Amino acid sequence: MWAIVVNPVSGGGKGAVLGREVAGYFASKSLPYQVITSTTAQRLQANLQNFLDLQGDGCQGVVAVGGDGLAHLVMQSVVPRAIPFTVIPAGTGNDFGRALGWSLLAITKQLDCLTTDAPKKIDLGLVDSEWFGAILSTGFDSVVNEKANRMSWPKGPMKYNVAIAMELPKFKPMQYTIGLDNNSIQTEAMLIAVANGSSYGAGMLVCPDARMDDGLFDVMVLRPVSKFEFIKVFPKVFKGEHINHPKVDIYRSRRVSLTAPAIAYADGERVGTLPVQAECIAGAGLSWTP
């Protein structure tokens, strides 16, 4: 039995539309499935847990139809059970799907792969006992997330652009202690990204060389720059060209600890206040790649 987990409000209703499309695909292939859905994250997770408890070892895989938040929710339930999962992109960010290598438009190709091919092991991050797939971040982007989550308007990705414009003029770099496998760094930073996948924020290649099969995080540290310089460099992140800037440092490490008077987010979901400790767990998840 397959589980199709649908966030119906994801992407302004795109989740509901694609959820019906995915269910129709499974029905056309005469594959057994059950749709699991709810309008609240807590209820959705409880429904999935109940389904997996009833299935025991009988769940063939979980298909999450939604955004990175839904993928994050699903992996908390499936990773401890070693159940393969994938995400059909129906959110505003969809960076976990990008990290796996899937086109956001090739949904049928993705479904063909997961129903005919064996899943592969992928690396996942573990931060304070919580799994994440793409990016753990702190600093300016977390401040923007905090602001955007309190805003009722505008909707979609534009909300984050407005939050950036509101927060950047008053943002100040913070003093961080960054613990890595082989050393500890004391530095002021505007933003730190601990990357298992290469992008966040709907395709911003914050760590363009990050891989999900090497057992290591890529850690990007943006040291203080002027507001003008930040605005000038920011567009380069969509092509990963910011890493050539002299104020950007990239480290690779299996374990990372972060200490500062700051907030952390993982896969766009609030982790909480620092300090936090994260570890890249090689082969922790099972999923499909092109």
The reply to whether 113 and 159 lie within a common domain is no
Which phi and psi (to 5°) does residue 197 adopt? -100, 175
- Which tens digit of pLDDT belongs to each residue from 86-137? 999 988 788 898 899 888 888 899 999 999 999 999 999 999 999 999 999 9
The reply to whether 211 and 98 lie within a common domain is no
Question: Which H or E run contains 54?
Answer: helix 41-55
> Residue 261 has which token pair?
């008077």
The reply to whether 114 and 136 lie within a common domain is no
pLDDT band at 13 (very low <50, low <70, confident <90, very high): confident
Sign of the four-CA dihedral 92, 98, 100, 106: positive
Q: Which amino acid is at 151?
A: M
Q: Pick from 66, 86, 118: which residue ends a domain?
A: 118
Does a structural domain hold residue 74?
Answer: yes
Does a structural domain hold residue 125?
Answer: no
The reply to whether 257 and 142 lie within a common domain is yes
The reply to whether 107 and 218 lie within a common domain is no
Range 11-31 average pLDDT: 92
Residue 157 pLDDT:
66
The reply to whether 183 and 217 lie within a common domain is yes
Does a structural domain hold residue 146?
Answer: yes
pTM of the model: 0.91
- Which tens digit of pLDDT belongs to each residue from 130-167? 999 999 999 998 998 888 878 878 776 677 778 888 99
Does a structural domain hold residue 6?
Answer: yes
Does a structural domain hold residue 213?
Answer: yes
Number of CB atoms found within 10 A of residue 2's CB? 19
DSSP structure string for 206-265? SSTT--SSSS-EEEEEE----HHHHHHHGGGGGGTGGGGSTTEEEEEESEEEEESS-EEE
Length of the chain: 290
Does a structural domain hold residue 96?
Answer: yes
Does a structural domain hold residue 14?
Answer: yes
The reply to whether 7 and 83 lie within a common domain is yes
Based on its alpha-carbon atoms, the radius of gyration of the chain, rounded to whole angstroms, reads 19
Which phi and psi (to 5°) does residue 278 adopt? -125, 150
> Residue 287 has which token pair?
């999923």
Domain that residue 211 falls in: 132-283
Mean pLDDT of the chain: 92
Q: Pick from 94, 118, 142: which residue ends a domain?
A: 118
The reply to whether 208 and 72 lie within a common domain is no
Q: DSSP secondary-structure letter at 204?
A: B
CATH of the domain at 266: 2.60.200.40
CATH of the domain at 34: 3.40.50.10330
The reply to whether 108 and 228 lie within a common domain is no
The total number of structural domains in the chain stands at 2
Does a structural domain hold residue 127?
Answer: no
Q: Identify whether 290 is preceded by a cis peptide bond (ω within 30 of 0).
A: no
The reply to whether 84 and 138 lie within a common domain is no
